[in-house]
Copies of this chain bind each other. A is one copy, B any other.
Amino acid sequence: MHNQSHQLTCPTQGPGLYEITDRAVTFVRDVGVLNGVLTVYCRHTSASLVIQENADPDVQRDLQAFFKRLVPDGDPLFCHTAEGPDDMPAHVKSALTATSLTIPIVEGAPTLGTWQGIYLFEHRQAPHKRQIILQVTGT
């Protein structure tokens, strides 16, 4: 039974999707698990995780545009504004997407579909160093 974790650091330069698929797949291969589960976990509440199409970059652009319109920066609804007009919207966007993902591992690789990539979804304007935990359990 393997049971191993690894912390990734993902530097960000403003809102957008930052792909971490390769690093996750490499970690699974390096641990040497054939069958089991990969957990991806984001240690933040103003950035989150999504699995999205990895082919047309317009998908990432459109996804951001949708969330920006749905949860606009500087919305007067929000009281929590001390950390800037993009802070509370970032918390909401995180709640609407995912903080954790769990992906089965079969024959030594995560069972991602052909068009699936794993992304950190950064919601803040300022550069950040985001921490993501990869955890593998299996045999």
A contacts, CB < 8 Å to B: 1, 3-5, 35-37, 39, 41, 43-46, 50-53, 56, 58-59, 61-63, 65-66, 69-71, 77-80, 82, 88, 91-92, 94-104, 106, 111-113, 115-116, 131, 133-135, 137-139
Q: State the Cβ distance, A72 to closest chain B Cβ, in Å.
A: 11
Main secondary structure on chain A at its contact with chain B?
A: mixed
Q: A41-B103, A45-B115, A61-B80 are in contact. List 4 more A-B contacts (CB 8 A).
A: A46-B53, A51-B100, A52-B94, A62-B88
- Copies of chain A in the complex: 3
Assess the B62–A80 pair: CB atoms within 8 A.
yes
Candidates B59, B82, B92; contact of A80 at CB < 8 Å: B59
Which residues of the partner chain B approach A58 to less than 8 Å between Cβ atoms? 79-80
Residue pair B62, A77 in contact (C-beta under 8 Å) = yes
